[in-house]
Structure 1
Amino acid sequence: MIPTWPADLPQRVLADSFSETLADGRLRTSTETGMGKSRLRFSSAPKPLAVAFKVDPDQKARLERFWIEEIARGALPFLIQDQTKDGLAMLTDDGLQLLDDAGQPLLISAWWLVMIGEGPPVFTTRNRGMTYTAAFPLMVMP
């Protein structure tokens, strides 16, 4: 069974620390002169992300346990809500919100299968351990 990002940790990344890069499956080869060669090495490749979450001391301990016990120090993949699509309203081709029978908007449910990228989570604090920023790279698997 694939682990899921714990419900008792924040479910949304800090907006000012989020960055996403397009997946790049190219292979580049230097040439003696000129620009070099590039070709497609993989038909699909992981998409790199930089994420950070604001956590309190209990959530910091929970994230450490998730890292060590549930994803084997970052060696195993896990599921996390898609930070770019999950929770957005579904729209018609005209841009109008789709509604259910009760008139409530239909929302997108989307998940990423991810692995922690290079390096473990890094915790920083500016208020003597009252809250932390947990930052780490993620790779969205194709």
Structure 2
Amino acid sequence: MSTVPTWPETLPRPERSSWQSKLQDARRKRQNDAGPPAYARKFSSVARLVSLSVMLDRNQRAVFDQFYEDTCKYGSTLFYMPDPTTEGWPLLTSDGVPILAGDGVPLLMSGRWLCLWGDDVPVETLSGIEFRKSFSVVVMP
């Protein structure tokens, strides 16, 4: 029995500017002779499709490549990834004020995704001396 690999902790959070998320379309369109379209459920479990990118220095680029190529067998295996919309963000009151522990340190949220790599392999571009890796993941329901 093999364990599911985990996204390397040394890699940075995804960039906000490239973030895009949508639900998998779970509908089946029914053809009508006239009038508006009608839909029915195609399947019950719906994945989330997320496109994102990370800016990496040379060392982080090597970590990313090793994770994708070796650990995840060129994107063919499942892996756990911290949920960038939850992991490490402070818990807030309804007024937007961070909730603090007894010692005054903000309480942080935690979350992780079980992912598959998306349809396209990661794309690398240069930005100055850094590398931008753009890729997509399928977040399992």
Residues 62 and 43 (structure 1), Cα distance of their counterparts in 2 relative to 1, 3 Å cut = same
Aligned partner of 1:2 in structure 2 is 4
Question: 1:47-78, CA deviations, whole angstroms, 9 ceiling, x for partnerless residues?
Answer: 01110001123322221211111112111111
Aligned-CA RMSD value: 2.0
Instruction: Tell me the number of residue pairs that the alignment of Structure 1 and Structure 2 aligns.
Output: 139
Q: With structure 2 as the length reference, what TM-score do the two structures score?
A: 0.85
The 8 Å contact of residues 23 and 44 in structure 1, kept in 2 or not, is answered as no
Q: What secondary structure, in the 3-state scheme, does the structure 1 residue paired with 2:53 have?
A: strand
Aligned partner of 1:47 in structure 2 is 48
Q: Which segments of 5 or more consecutive residues in structure 1 lack a partner in the other structure?
A: none
Instruction: Report the more deviating stretch, 110-119 or 88-97.
Output: 88-97
Percentage identity across aligned positions?
32
- Separation (CA, whole Å) in 1 of partners of 2:49 and 2:34: 31
- Separation (CA, whole Å) in 2 of partners of 1:94 and 1:55: 35
Instruction: Report the more deviating stretch, 13-22 or 96-105.
Output: 96-105
Aligned partner of 1:137 in structure 2 is 136
Aligned partner of 1:75 in structure 2 is 76
- Structure 1 residue 121: Cα displacement: 0.5
- Structure 1 residue 19: Cα displacement: 1.1
The 8 Å contact of residues 26 and 40 in structure 1, kept in 2 or not, is answered as yes
- Structure 1 residue 3: Cα displacement: 0.6
